Structure 1
Amino acid sequence: MTPEEQQDRVRAAVAAVPGWGGVAVTAEPAIPILASPSWRGVDGWPWRVVDGDGRSLFVKVMDEDAAFYIDVATAFAAAGHASDLGVGPKVHLADVAAGVLVMEDLGAGWRVGTLDRLLDPAIVDAVVAARAKFQAAPALPRSVSVFEEIERFHDDARACGAELPADTGWLVSEMAVAAAAVAPVAAAPVPIHGDANVSNLMISDAGEVRLIDFDRATMADPLEDLGGFLTEAFDQDPERRDAFARATGGFEERAFNRARIYGIADDLRWGLIGAVVARRSLRETFEFYKFASWRFVRCRMGLRDPRFSEMLRRL
């Protein structure tokens, strides 16, 4: 889709929003696309629409690169639920057929999440609370675990000839062992945000948090969401343990082990997604491969940690 075709689709969607029909607007790209290190703006083209009175809307046009790993109907339903619950931007229009989502524009006073903001325990707790609140949303039409997606995306990567690390087969087989260990103790599926990339947070100057980009939302074990976030937010387990204890009202080792395993698995899943997009995308950039490489490295570090087998044993 050309930029001109996207702009036409954006304008048509905005015209269908109450109060915006027949209004003269300016549409321009909202943010730079940045795959590495945070996968920002890759799943859909972001646009900002402004009228003559200074009102603005944020519009996302889904990209064909993301079709293999995003269910648009589920993503848009999840964004709507988050809007209703107050943990995501207000959704004004969701056109699944056109792949266009029109939302409030979180502008002045709001910034995209960065790892340095997560050094503040209050911000971490606000992110965890928002994710937990979303888990009370109505059931989503999609239900899949991280382990199931690893198998599928590994097949996709091999089928398209994606460039993969030499030990990818070992990484995947280790995750199959982990999946078998986790299955008997997994919690009942609930709606989860499903994407721990820090760029999928908006944080206000006052410390308020909104979750954005519900493209990976699904029904899954709630600790899958928490585990992915703890892996993204912290380099070391002591900090993860502290945040986990605050999130769950106390430290329970078996639950923490399950969350950590999910976090390590999430790295492998994203590594495979990045590798497939790097191979298939018409966007000529090395950023997709860089992103995938880092996620493979962090997954490998987790699996080679001597404590990993102990996590499996103590589930």
Structure 2
Amino acid sequence: MTEQPAVRFDRVQVRYGAVTALDDFSLDVAAGETVALLGPSGSGKSTALKALAGFLTPSSGRVLLNGRDVTGLPPHRRGLGVVVQQYALFPHMTVAENVAFGLRARRSFSAKRVTDMLELVGLPGFGKRYPRELSGGQQQRVAIARALAIAPPVLLLDEPLSALDAQLRADLLEELRRLRDELPDVAMLYVTHDQTEALTLADRIAVMRDARLVDVDTAFDLYQQPPSSFTASFLGGANLLAGTVVSAGGLVRIGGVTLTASSADPLVEGADVRVAIRPHTLVVADDGLEATLTGLQWRGATFRLTCLVDGMAVHADVPSADGLPPVGSPIRLRLPATGAAVVAR
């Protein structure tokens, strides 16, 4: 007998009048799996989470939890843990009272459970403080502890780190990784527009655009062999260069340069294709693609070069600007020996 997924979206659609916020959305999340919904603003990712949480009712389709249709159930009867961007802590309650809120609502209060949850998120001894006495990262940890206190089978996280500064975001992302490992039976659905969060945390990534699911696969496979142009550019910021297949074995010519590129589908000699090449794999050299340097931006650890190749903007990330010609000058970009991928569509 096949085990039921912890979460199933079955052709879910959400409409607001003439506007479709989520269209024909189907996705399974297994128990213990972390799936990131990744996409730009307005792509439908938060709408999908709200449909699962019960904060809105789908116009059509079904939402199932462990095989049970919960499409029409109110949020409090779904038993899910929810963490949102702005913490949503009760300011008049202590940390311990916030964590215990769901337990008291279920009449299953346990002081030990509250203590255990605060230890789990790295806040032992913080129970008597109020939210105003905590940093943003600490408040978000309290929100996570509150969501986990009721032992939910599914934890929903809606842009939980976007309100934090860069260092807090990195620290809390590591905490979420640790929690994921310590809660092997809890399914997590993580909504984000940040590719680093998705790649760091998720077992699989569901890429969304214009209210629809575009691609879904493991984080590694989506990055290494993106199925679509949108995923290639959104996840990792790949350059998409026009090329021609030289041989079915994977040789592709871009401009006057031939390189080896992986492909999920069989290649046909002579076919025109698009090749995804990550900015960090390009090198400024004496040989390679002819280009014009049109922009130079310092990014701390690297310099981002913007170049024009056959009328198309191409980005390259290099460790140093030493020896680069002035903006507006010709330049050559050496393509990587490995790591390029033919985009299927």
Give me the TM-score of the superposition, normalised by structure 1: 0.25
| Larger gyration radius, structure 1 or structure 2 | 2
Structure ranking higher in helix proportion: 1
Give me the TM-score of the superposition, normalised by structure 2: 0.24
Highest RCO, 1 vs 2 (Cα 8 Å, sep ≥ 6):
1
